[in-house]
Each structure stands twice: as structure tokens, then as C-alpha cells.
Amino acid sequence: MEVLYTKTAEEGSEKAYQLIREALDNGAKVFGLATGSTPERVYEKLVESDVDFSEAISVNLDEYVGLEGTHEQSYQYFMEQKLFNHKPFKESFVPNGVNEEQAEIERYEAILAKYPIDLQILGIGENGHIAFNEPGTALDSVTHKVELTQSTINANKRNFEKEEDVPRYAYSMGLASIMKAKKIILMAFGENKAQAVKDLVTATKADPAIPSTVLVNHPDVTVIVDKAAATLIK
């Protein structure tokens, strides 16, 4: 695991942007994408650039159960607004939050089997989750329905009118699905991620209590951390 320390989130986003461009130039075709505030600036940079994803595929990590893709808080909608409407991919896949559980799991696993991910972008939750794999998720998990923890509901309620509006379940790629990506870039910005960053970069083995630590077993992970998120390790 390579850890890159940057002064600011802006610098970290620039670094991630460059790594994505480099991967595309080197032939990467399938991009695993995340939502949330962490990658927003990276998507802005991609939108402002001359990058061309028209021959590439994107596969998103997760979606709230119960939200249509047209719902403003859905991750489908987020991706359209932030990236897809400006830089269309040949095909873009996001879990379908209104599909029935078993059907959606099978559909998404088939997509991942057909389009193995070349480069996966990740954020990290304050509790160490990656995608919506909350603490306790099996290390060998594939796409599954997740009950969100209170920590995640609290962190995500900022995007909803009130806490009760935050969906309690999500569909998420599993930890084993994420580990299949050829290359992974995880970004962590801000002081609220400091504990999660410490737990990740000091981990010596994968521990289901801290889902991000599954990444210690991956051969090509770059973690980009800004100064605020590095306060407990530097």
C-alpha cells in the first residue's frame, strides 16, 4: 500500500485526477466509481478537462435501497450531475435501488464479471467502511444488501432534509468484489477521517471490524491523504 500525503484536499484531488488520466492513457477501460463528497473535486477536474470516457465503462459502488435513480439523493442522480451528463461513458452502471434484492445482486455480479474493474476509486467512512461495507462485513462478501449503521446515517443525513429521510439500507459491492479491481485509489480528506486513516495505514492484517483493512492484501493500492486526515499518524 502506497500512502501519498498531500497538504490539502485540492492537491490530493489533483493527484487522483492525474492517476485516473494516466490509467486511461495506459489502456484502462473499466472504472469503479464512488459517490460522496470525497471524489467530487476529482469529478469536477475530469469534467473541466478534455478527458474522453466514451470508450470506457463505469461501475459504481453502491446505491440506497428504495430510491429511484431520478431521486435527487440517489447515487445514480449524483453521478449524472457530477460526471456522466458532462463526460458520458460508453456504459455506466449503478446499482438499482428499487430492484428486488436477489435480482439486483445477480444483475450486479453479472456486470462485475463481464466488466472487471481496472481502476477503483474509493472514499472511506469515519467507521472504516468502504463502499457501504460496514464494520463486521465478511471479507469474502460480494454484492449485497446492507443495513446502514447509525454512524453512516449520521454522516449522510447532511444530504437529506431530516434524518428519518436517510434510507436505512443500501446495495453495495462487497469487499471481495472491490478486491478484484486491478488498481485501487482510496482518498481520505478532512479531520473526521483521521481515525479511519490511522486504522487503515497501520493495519497489518485484514480485520472485518475495520472493512478498509481488507486492502492490506491488495497488490496495488494508493491511499491519498490530506494533512487533516493524517493528524493521527504524522
Query: Which residues participate in catalysis according to the annotation?
Result: 62, 127, 129, 134
Q: Where would I find the beta strands (DSSP E) of 37-174?
A: 57-60, 62-64, 91-93, 119-122, 144-147, 169-172
**Residue 40 Cβ, how far from ligand F6R at the closest point, in Å?**
8
HSE-CB for 48 with a 13 A CA cutoff: 8
Radius of gyration (C-alpha) of the chain in whole angstroms: 16
If one asks whether residue 36 binds ligand F6R (CB under 6 A), the answer comes out as yes
Q: Which residue is nearest to ligand F6R (CB)?
A: 123
If one asks whether residue 12 binds ligand F6R (CB under 6 A), the answer comes out as no
Span near ligand F6R by CB under 6 A; candidates 45-53, 80-88, 101-109, 119-127: 119-127
HSE-CB for 213 with a 13 A CA cutoff: 19
If one asks whether residue 97 binds ligand F6R (CB under 6 A), the answer comes out as no
49-88: which residues touch ligand F6R (CB under 6 A)?
A: 61-62
Count of residues that bind ligand F6R according to CB under 6 A: 13
Span near ligand F6R by CB under 6 A; candidates 50-58, 99-107, 121-129, 220-228: 121-129
Nearest in space to 212 (alpha carbons), one of 228, 225, 223, 220: 223
Amino acid present at 208: P
Distance (Å, rounded) from C-alpha 225 to C-alpha 234?
11
Applying CB under 6 A, the residues found at the interface with ligand F6R are: 34-38, 61-62, 123-125, 129-131
